[in-house]
Structure 1
């Protein structure tokens, strides 16, 4: 690292890419880069800052994230897609992971990164260009074919966001709330496991127990009950019962 710096490497382009894309890097390297004039909020060609890249990493980088937060990284900047570091951390779409140990590490790291960012002042109610909040992204956009650990960590992320004041009943650009989106994104595929379907049900129950409004309408006048058609037939009655118990006659 010191050799690269001595040869005039652009710390705002080359070095941050190196730190954020390589598996294990030390906190000493991060501190060395910052001491040599790196802009803590520098952006790449997609508008991403170092803290965004680290938050989206599939590798655990708790110590480096703590350094960036401590040294004043702006946690609420948006990339070209309107996504913040918190959105990247809360997203459950972990890619490029091959081993079981890497998958589990990724799930644990994501939930820890979300808490660190929130404690550091990240806004849980910021929206991307589609009007989606961090809560909407974390609750509705689930990957298929994952393990029990994966689903449990995503439930933990959503709970953490709710405890931090995430708005449960606001709508995206289409007026759809997180509850509507969670129902709409339910994948009806015969090959899906019981684990996936059961955890979709747990997520909906969590949102309802936390105060999700079942009577609100989207921009097309649809209510939560209209999104029940997205739920697999064998789960529609149980989900309908959950909604009914929370004040909606279907």
Structure 2
């Protein structure tokens, strides 16, 4: 009898596959303000810059004038003791939070709200930022780190600046142990063995005298069976011949 593959075991849940959210200090998001507070400029002070396990960017703990606390992704150029302004009349400086409709075009921003009051959804990873492109009647066009353009409500909040911790991905892990400990904090499964490298009882792609690409799985298969290629339109030697014929046809047309 075969054993359950990783996808199926992960789908059942359990402590092994649960993200360790209890290690997080607090969610990094904007606090909710009342309608009156949104119109005024509220000030806060950065009390602490800290690392939160499992997050790849440093965080800043901000205490507002009214005593409320919030944690946000730290941006480049901020420091402990810096005054942070929240509101439509805030200055365009790193760390300040404004409605995106009030931020000048071409400004680099981060922790952008997808919808008003959601606390921030876009450009939150270390070294990332979005660019304010065009202001329209009630929406603003923003370019995300991926290059994709999205339209958000002009009342959605964003932080001026670039998320701190840039260049993190440029340093290699070097040792498998480093990646192992990183995976523990992120709830990744590491190391991952290829299905075709397993025995036949352990995976649909396993077994055989030689390693080959596994048989494609149907598109309407249940989630636990969807491993490797599924719903492939073109497979095997016939696919290679078809591609070669297509290439020859294109060459003749160009000639």
Alignment TM-score, normalising by the size of structure 1: 0.24
Higher relative contact order (CA 8 A, sep 6+): 2
Instruction: Choose 1 or 2 for highest CA Rg.
Output: 2
Structure 1 or 2: larger strand share?
2
- Which one has a larger percent helix, Structure 1 or Structure 2? 1
Using structure 2 for the length normalisation, give the TM-score: 0.24
